[in-house]
Structure 1
Amino acid sequence: MAINLSLERIRLLSSHLPPYSRPTIHVAGTNGKGSVTCMLSSIFVASGLTVGRFNSPHLVSVQDSILINEQSVSLEEYSLSRAAVESADQDYGTEVSSFEMLTLVALQVFEKLRVDVVVIEVGMGGRLDATNYIPDESILLSALTTVDLDHQLFLGNTVELIAKEKAGIARKNKPFVLGIQKYAAVENVVRSVVEQTSAHFIAAHSAQRRAWDDTIDGPLPPTFSLDAESFRPPPAQPITFTSSAFPDSLSALLYLNGSHQVENLSLVLTIITTLVTHPLCASRMPSGFSERVLENIKTGIRNATWRGRLSFHRLTVSSPSPRAITVLVDGAHNRASSETLASYVSNLVTMLDGNPQMRRLRLTYILALSHSPPKTPKDTLSPLFASRSSTQFSIQTKVAAVRFTSPEGMPWVNSVPPSEIAATVRESVSGVGLWVASDEGEIQGQLERTEGEDGAQELVIVAGSLYLVADFYRLLARQEAPC
């Protein structure tokens, strides 16, 4: 099934459904839009609002993409809305795509439940993405996270062209908040699109890392440890942020892992500032919103979690003997996100270097990629194997190249053959232990195949595709299910 970006089908079908009217925050971007929607939703829930959130792709089941107060929509609610949209699609012959169908189902759920606010992640691009059919009057503001190269076949071969497509979610007379960017050219392109749309351009203010303060943050947590039996996570990131919305500088703890999340939080807090101070936004929010959000924003930041994005988990494996392992899961699906993952792993190594008892560390990467030309395995994976140094312990690296289960309702999504991933690994780095799954045949059991080694701390890293991340969470759910 080919991807045909257009708003014609979804607009036609939506005209035969109950109108959508919920106050909505619309978020586009190459990387970070899921994290931004997650943090926004967490802040709103902590402030007592009823919140709808739509993200894609889903992880374990399609319902995971539609959240009410951070919980997947019930099967009953999903099924009822899905049946209504499918019936209208058949009656009027609109033949919407799978993603257009899912988008309409999500919005029908939010409308039926009369949620206070909706936070929506763009699927791909922006201007012609299905989520961009939402009526102007429902949009509170639009936001754009980091722009980088991805989906070039559909969006263009340069960051400028991609930024132009993504900035196409700007709405007349509504705020458009631009997050911190890697490429200076992005801001110029986005400003031009926003001005042509007669939207209000706002650049994100930067949140800053600060030192841990016992009086604000409480006692410093125990030292980071990878030991699966007594795992201690990296400490939260203390941040400070100043804007016109906060009488004093905001000091909070961010538990999402990775320095890039501070940049994502910068966009989130600028969005919150805009909602509180911009007249068009403030008038659409529930009564007392400003007071409630300012009172509860620290709790919302602290509570934000985002599965599959630098997430730590404990898993039991049976080979060569039963044991627990620590797993870091991250849907690093393009070069920019792989660079972020590599940087985070390097930071973990630095933290472990301060432990005098560390002698050996084994890093085992379990990797799968989706076939998405012109992006190649080398484009995505080469940053993962940049050299790391440690003054105190040796590092052994292993790689397992695997495939993922075809995602529900997306038969056009295919794995890159593991043999291609293996060839990229061999080309990128030497001296790496390599296990390669079959390019065809059985997928079940691939994730469980890790080899143990006495005397070494180990970290298994599942990465490369969110569809592989989904397989990991299915495995984890089977282990955690009651017997």
Structure 2
Amino acid sequence: MTYQEALDWLYSTQTFGIKLGLDGPRKLLRQFLAFPKSGVKVIHVAGTNGKGSTCAFIDSLCRSSAHRTGLFTSPHLVDYRERIRVNGEMIPEETVAEYLTELRELVAEWEHHPTFFELTLAVAMRHFRETECEVIVLETGMGGRLDATTAVPADVAVITPIALDHSQWLGDTLEKVAFEKAGIILEDKPTISAKQEREAAIVIAEQANEMRSPLTVIEAPLTGYSLSLAGPHQAYNAHLALEAANAIGIPLNFDSVQYAMSHTNWPGRFETVSDSPTIIIDGAHNPHAAAALLQTWEHQFGSKKPIMLFGAVESKDVSGALKLLCQLPSELHLVKINTARGLPTETLLEALPEDCPPHTEHDSLQSALDVVIPAAVESGTPILISGSLFLIGEAKSILQGGSFQASTQ
């Protein structure tokens, strides 16, 4: 298959939906010869908020100490290959095509067909193996205990802040969600956790105790270093990453840490994508992320109010996020995201708090931008695009170029 044919086949597997469980992924990794080689260190990252940024910091720290790294994250924003990187470089198109062609033949007769996410994980792990990665950083897709990434034996478990998310899959209480996230904790392997709400902290402590896993809880931000990622919350993510790198024995000194922290790049998190007018994109898709965005906006812009565009997908606490985010803009524009999971603007309208600023509905992000960009240029008002990462990806493709192909996983 060509690269585009391979992607078309892979995207067609989204009809198989989401399947939680480890037997399928283990079978796939085993038969595809994609498990890590002996001696390769694996850091597994779960949580609700800050997973991607923490993974990016870990990757940067390891690379600054001359370790060859493999980084697996999801979802992608614009280009599918963003999910799979070696030393910061996206997997080549020809490699994706080669591996997906091989995988299609491998699984053709399987009774239980692998999902989009499982196949992508297999491509990533085979690529990391073939390119001789020394450290692999894996971000869970959803949950942890039964997430496909947990089929890969890890050396360190990292848990970022936990909040209610994917309730239909992970449970409707913080304790239930934490139980799923804490499922990545392994026997006799260290666990590094962010400071958690009391209910989640208890679950993590109990799981670590049962697994005889040494537990370190990061309760303070990293200080003494300049960070390239904006927002006070990133100092906590950076501290979490530093402890994870230490846990696998990465040799670090002040210069290597400073270089890593000041050169970490993670698109879609308070990222400036235009200067005229100023356009900021940020994937604040739940209340915890919304609170971090409010804090970051105040840190960067003070009391200046933006024009905000917002879109969300199903399974998120949209009303909780909007209750916070509506404190920020002078006007709000609700958009339907170009993905099957995108919520219609009528649903977003119902989720608005009573004290919401003036708001308008749009049938697409492009139509909203056609309205707000001229107004922002004329008034000098910054634009903030926030909500689902699928919206952020669509915004980047429109504003910076690229072919946007949304996924559901």
> Over aligned residue pairs, what C-alpha RMSD do you find?
2.3
The correspondence of residues 40-439 of structure 1 with structure 2, limited to 5 A, is 40-135=58-153, 139-181=154-196, 183-204=197-218, 206-208=220-222, 239=223, 251-276=224-249, 289-290=250-251, 295-314=255-274, 324-350=276-302, 361-372=304-315, 375-386=316-327, 397-406=330-339, 413-425=340-352, 427-430=353-356, 432-438=357-363
TM-superposed deviation, 1:380: 2.4
Residue aligned with 1:452, SS? helix
Matched residue, 2:406: none
Greater mean deviation of Cα atoms: 261-270 or 84-93 = 84-93
TM-superposed deviation, 1:349: 4.0
Is residue 173–residue 200 contact of structure 1 (8 Å, CA) maintained in 2? yes
Q: Could you tell me how far apart the structure 2 residues matched to 1:453 and 1:198 are?
A: 56
Q: 1:124 to 1:191 in 2, by over 3 A?
A: same
TM-superposed deviation, 1:294: 5.5
Is residue 334–residue 362 contact of structure 2 (8 Å, CA) maintained in 1? yes
- Normalised by the length of structure 1, the TM-score is 0.75
TM-superposed deviation, 1:40: 0.8
Residue type of the alignment partner of 1:459: P
**Runs of 5+ consecutive residues of structure 1 not aligned to the other structure:** 209-238, 240-250, 277-288, 316-323, 354-360, 389-395, 407-412
Q: Could you tell me how far apart the structure 1 residues matched to 2:112 and 2:257 are?
A: 43
Q: 1:466 to 1:453 in 2, by over 3 A?
A: closer
TM-superposed deviation, 1:300: 0.4
Q: Could you tell me how far apart the structure 1 residues matched to 2:380 and 2:311 are?
A: 24
Residue aligned with 1:126, SS? coil
Q: Could you tell me how far apart the structure 2 residues matched to 1:264 and 1:69 are?
A: 20
Q: 1:454 to 1:275 in 2, by over 3 A?
A: closer
Deviations 1:264-305 (A, max 9, x none): 1121122123233xxxxxxxxxxxx526x6641110011012
Is residue 325–residue 458 contact of structure 1 (8 Å, CA) maintained in 2? yes
Deviations 1:166-223 (A, max 9, x none): 1111112111111122x12322211111222232222226235xxxxxxxxxxxxxxx
TM-superposed deviation, 1:19: 4.4
1:447 aligns with 2:388: no
Q: 1:445 to 1:112 in 2, by over 3 A?
A: farther
Identity %: 25
More helix by share: 2
Is residue 401–residue 419 contact of structure 1 (8 Å, CA) maintained in 2? no
Q: Which of 1 and 2 has greater Rg?
A: 1
TM-superposed deviation, 1:13: 2.1
Q: Could you tell me how far apart the structure 2 residues matched to 1:454 and 1:262 are?
A: 33
Which of the numbers 378, 381, 384 marks the counterpart of 1:458? 381
Is residue 306–residue 382 contact of structure 2 (8 Å, CA) maintained in 1? yes
Q: 1:313 to 1:19 in 2, by over 3 A?
A: closer
Q: Could you tell me how far apart the structure 1 residues matched to 2:317 and 2:376 are?
A: 33
Deviations 1:214-238 (A, max 9, x none): xxxxxxxxxxxxxxxxxxxxxxxxx
Q: 1:93 to 1:105 in 2, by over 3 A?
A: farther
Residue aligned with 2:381, SS? strand
**Runs of 5+ consecutive residues of structure 2 not aligned to the other structure:** 1-14, 403-409
Q: Could you tell me how far apart the structure 2 residues matched to 1:312 and 1:422 are?
A: 27
Q: Could you tell me how far apart the structure 1 residues matched to 2:142 and 2:114 are?
A: 16
Is residue 362–residue 457 contact of structure 1 (8 Å, CA) maintained in 2? no
1:468 aligns with 2:381: no
Matched residue, 1:35: 53
Q: 1:252 to 1:398 in 2, by over 3 A?
A: same
Is residue 311–residue 336 contact of structure 2 (8 Å, CA) maintained in 1? yes
Residue type of the alignment partner of 1:382: K
Is residue 312–residue 329 contact of structure 1 (8 Å, CA) maintained in 2? yes
Q: Could you tell me how far apart the structure 1 residues matched to 2:21 and 2:370 are?
A: 41
Q: 1:465 to 1:194 in 2, by over 3 A?
A: same
Residue aligned with 1:49, SS? coil
Greater relative contact order (Cα < 8 A, sep 6+): 2
Is residue 27–residue 145 contact of structure 1 (8 Å, CA) maintained in 2? yes
Is residue 13–residue 92 contact of structure 1 (8 Å, CA) maintained in 2? no
Residue type of the alignment partner of 1:420: T
Is residue 107–residue 113 contact of structure 2 (8 Å, CA) maintained in 1? yes
TM-superposed deviation, 1:383: 0.7
Residue type of the alignment partner of 2:322: L
Is residue 376–residue 382 contact of structure 2 (8 Å, CA) maintained in 1? no
TM-superposed deviation, 1:453: 5.9
Q: Could you tell me how far apart the structure 1 residues matched to 2:68 and 2:187 are?
A: 27
Deviations 1:293-345 (A, max 9, x none): 66411100110121001111216xxxxxxxx2111111111111112112222
TM-superposed deviation, 1:95: 0.4
